[in-house]
Structure 1
Amino acid sequence: EIISVFANNRHNYYPIKTPREKILDSSNWKFKNIHSENGNFDSKGKPGRIYKDKFPTSILKYHKDKAECNGTKRVHPTQKPVALIEYLIKTYTNENEMVLDFTMGSGTTGVACINLNRNFIGIELDEVYFTVAEKRIKEGQRQILFS
């Protein structure tokens, strides 16, 4: 899938860092005086740092067995998990900014925008899917109002 980010000037980018996997040292040198609270260390007289978090990669992995995309709740053949779309929206927008989805499908982006307090414009050519998306988005608004 291709996701495009449009902006007047430079676009916002708020990377959501994830924990690094355990670091395995395959070299011969050893860390001395590791300070686990802040991740700093000294080795061979040189200060260094162990980074506990990593920047996102270009591949995002979400389980395919999520009920919303593969079970009875699936309403569109290319439906994405709301969590995936929320991740992308948080990465590139601030609250109250506008998100455009010009191939809206089942309305997942609209639901994610409601959850994250973003404004949303959705376009869908297929009337059946537009109706489905409209219903999902209204249900998302209702859940926010009454929670």
Structure 2
Amino acid sequence: MTDNRVTIRRAVESDEPALLDIELTAWDASSGFPSMTEGERAGFFSDRSGPDAHLVAVLDDRVVGYIRLQDKYRFREGAGVLAVNGLAVAVDARGHGIGSALLTAVTEEAERRGARKITLHVHSSNTVARRLYERHGYQVEGTHPREFLIDGEEVDSLTLAKFL
């Protein structure tokens, strides 16, 4: 159930430190890539992925999660297909319906943009995320067997999609 103290809004530049902290602590080998969180990182936002590509979840005046929504393709034939290129919730804020609230908000944003489809990738080992996506209407569109080698284990990547 969604916590009524959770609000979703568009990210702003001042969210960057909180988002970087979430990015560096929310992922583990079942959900992300350990190599991506090693070492120092200067910031969260990039040229292709600025504040305008992110919705953030705020719980009790604290940024506790994000979802990144971008055009999947940069050519007109792919217009209307959006990609979720990251969804993360702070470890200590899980269990408040934040992931669900972010997925609901991203569907509303996609519909506002006139999208026809939202797509995403998830590790086959990330059963919690897979169940969340399925509850929000995402279906497996494809499997990429043995796509990644994470901590010595081969991991399939799944492509999921939701048609609007």
The structure number with the bigger radius of gyration is: 1
Regarding TM over 0.5, the answer is no
- TM-score (normalised: structure 2): 0.28
Q: Which structure would you say has the larger RCO, counting Cα contacts within 8 Å and 6 or more residues apart?
A: 2
- TM-score (normalised: structure 1): 0.30
* More strand, by proportion: 2
